[in-house]
Structure 1
Amino acid sequence: MQLQKSIGFYPGNFYSEIRNTLVEIINWKEISYIAQGTNVERNVFPYIIETYTYSLTLLFVSLLIALLFAITLTTSTFYFSSKAQKAVKFVLNLLEALPDVFVVFSLQLGAIWIFKNTSLLITEPYALSGQKIYFLPILTLSLIPTIYLYKSTLMMYEQELNKPYVELGIAKGLDKLYILLRHIFPNVLLSFFYNLKYIYLMMISNVIILEYMYNIFGLLKFMINHPTYEIITVGILLLTIPLFVAFFLIDALLPKGVVYYDQKAVL
C-alpha cells in the first residue's frame, strides 16, 4: 500500500510546480478554468479582463477620491481653532481604530435603513446576478484610506509648519493658503507618495471584503473561486503592474530637491 506524503517541503515538487506555472504564463492564451457550478471549461482570457477592469476601477477611483479629500480636509483644518483641531485628531484616532469590516457593514446597513424608512434607494446595497455597482463600494473603499491619509498628512503639515521658513513667510505677510499649497505641500509630496504604496496594498485587502459583502464578482473573488497557480499568478501580476507603472511615473515627475527650492523661495 502506498503511503501518502506528510506535510513538508519537497524541493522537487516545488520547482516542478514553478516550472509548470511559468510555462502556463508564457502560453497565457491557453490558461483555462472550470466555470463554477458547471463542468464547462473556459479560457481565462479575455474573461478575466472584465473582472480585472471592474476591480481596478473601484481601486483607482477610490484612491483618487481619498487623495482629493485628504488634501482638501488637511488644508481646511489649519483654518480651525486649536481646540477644533484637537477634536478633529481625536475623531480621526477613533475612526482609524474601527475594523474595516465594521465600516463596510455600517455603510451597507445605512443604505438599507434609509430605504426602509424613506423608500429612497440612494444606491444599490447589494449586487444581484452579476450586476456591477459602483457608488457604495467606491464610497466604502475610499473612506478608510481617506481617514489614514488625512491623519498622516495632517501630521506632516504640522512638522513643516514648525520650520523657520514658514515662520518667516508668515512674518512677511504671505497668505496662509499660499504657504500651505505653494511651499508646504511640495515638501510633503515625497512622504505622501510613499504612503500611497501602503494605502494601495491596504485597499487590495479591503477589496476582498467588499467583493464578498456586496456580492461583487471582481478579480479577487475570481482568484479565490478558482485558486490555481496560474490564475493566482496572473491576478497578482495584473494588480501589481499598474502599481509599478503608476508609481514609476509619479517618481519620475516628482520635483527633485524640492525642500531646498521651497524654503529658499519663501526666504
Structure 2
Amino acid sequence: MQVEKAFGFFPVDYIFEIKNTLFSLLNWNDISYVAQGTNVERKIFPYILESYSYSLTLLFVSLLIALLFAVFLTTVTFYLPSKLQGAIRKLSHIAEALPDVFVIFSLQLGAVWVFKHTNLLVTEPYALSGQKIYFLPILTLSLIPMIYLYKNTLMMYENELGKPYVEFGVSKGIGKLQILLRHVFPNVLLSFFYNLKYMYLLLISHMIILEYMYNIYGLLQFMTNHPSYEIITVGVLLLTLPISLVFFFIKLLLPKGVTYYDQAAV
C-alpha cells in the first residue's frame, strides 16, 4: 500500500524529531550513515572530518585572500585619477551582479582554453575520483566577497579620510600612504569584523554551488548525499563553531569600550 505524503505543519511530529535529534547529538559517536553506492554503514566520525577540513580550508583561505586583496585594491584606488576611480566603481557593481554559476563556468572554461592553446594545465578545472583541488575553488570563492569588501572598504576609507585626525596628519606633512596604512586602516579593520559573519555565511551559500560544479567532496556535499536530521545538524554545528570562536577571540583582543553600531566599530 502506498503511503500518501501530506504537506503541512505537524507540531507533534516536529517536536518528536527535535527530541530525537538532540538525543542523537548527546550520543554523537553513534551517529551513522550508509556510504553512497554501497550498503556499508559507517559512523560519521572520523569520515566527516576529512570533508570538513577540506571545506574549512577553502572557506578561510578564500576569506583571508578576499580581505587582503580588498585592502590592497582600495589603497591603490586612492592613487588613481578620479575618472578611473569612477570607472572601477561601476565595474565592481557589474562584477558583483554576476551569477555564481557564470563565474565558476567562466573560470573552468578559461582553464580549458589555456590548456587547449598552450598544452599547459594551469589548474584542474574539475575534480575526479575524490580528488582535492584548491586553486580554482579558492579563486572563485574569494572573488565575490572580495568585490563586496572592496566596495565597503572604499566607502569606509572615504568616511575616515574626512575626519579631523586625517586633516591634522596632512597638515603635518604626513604622506598619504602612511595615513592610510597606519591611521585609517586600523579603524577600517575594526569595522570589517562587523561584516565577518555575513561574509562567512555568504561563502557557505556559494560553497553549495561550488562543490557541485567542481565535483569536490566537501562538507556540504557530504550533508547533501546523506540528508538525515542528525548529520545536517552536526554539519551546521561544525560550520558555525569556527566563526563563533573567531568572534570570541576578536572581542577579547578589541580595545575596551569598542562596540558595534551601524556596521562600524565605535
- TM-score norm. by structure 1 comes to 0.93
1:42 is paired with a residue whose SS is strand
Question: Which structure 2 segments of 5+ residues have no match?
Answer: 260-266
Matched residue, 1:189 = 189
What are the equivalent positions in structure 2 for 1:30-109 lying under 5 Å apart?
30-109=30-109
Deviations 1:132-158 (A, max 9, x none): 011111111111111111111001101
Matches within 5 A, 1:216-227: 216-227=216-227
Q: How does 1:118-267 map to 2 (within 5 A)?
A: 118-256=118-256
**Cα deviations across residues 31-67 of structure 1 (Å, max 9, x unaligned)?**
0011111111111110000000000000001111111
Cα distance in 2 between the residues matched to 1:225 and 1:5: 22
Cα 1:55/1:3, change in 2 over 3 Å: closer
What amino acid maps onto 1:215 in structure 2? N
- Aligned residue for 2:211, secondary structure, equals helix
State percent identity of aligned pairs.
71
Inter-partner Cα distance in structure 1 for 2:131 and 2:12? 44
The CA RMSD over aligned residues, in Å, is 1.7
**How big is each residue's C-alpha offset from its partner over 1:101-151, in whole Å with a ceiling of 9 and x where there is no partner?**
111111111101111111110000010000001111111111111111111
Distance 1:102 1:187, change over 3 A: same
Q: Which amino acid aligns with 2:229?
A: Y
Supply the distance in 2 between the matched residues of 1:214 and 1:254 (Cα, whole angstroms): 38
Residue by residue, what CA displacement relative to the aligned partner does 1:167-193 show, whole Å, maximum 9, x if unpaired? 221111111111111211122223211
Moved over 6 A (4+): none
In the alignment, structure 1 residue 23 sits paired with structure 2 residue 23? yes
The alpha-carbon distance between structure 1 residues 42 and 2, as it changes in their structure 2 partners (threshold 3 A), is closer
Do the aligned partners of residues 253 and 8 (structure 1) sit closer, same or farther apart at CA in structure 2, a change above 3 Å counting?
same
Q: Which moved more, 1:142-151 or 1:246-255?
A: 246-255
Distance in 2, matches of 1:258 and 1:80, equals 33
Distance 1:5 1:37, change over 3 A: closer
1:11 matched to 2:27? The reply is no
Match of 1:262 in 2: none
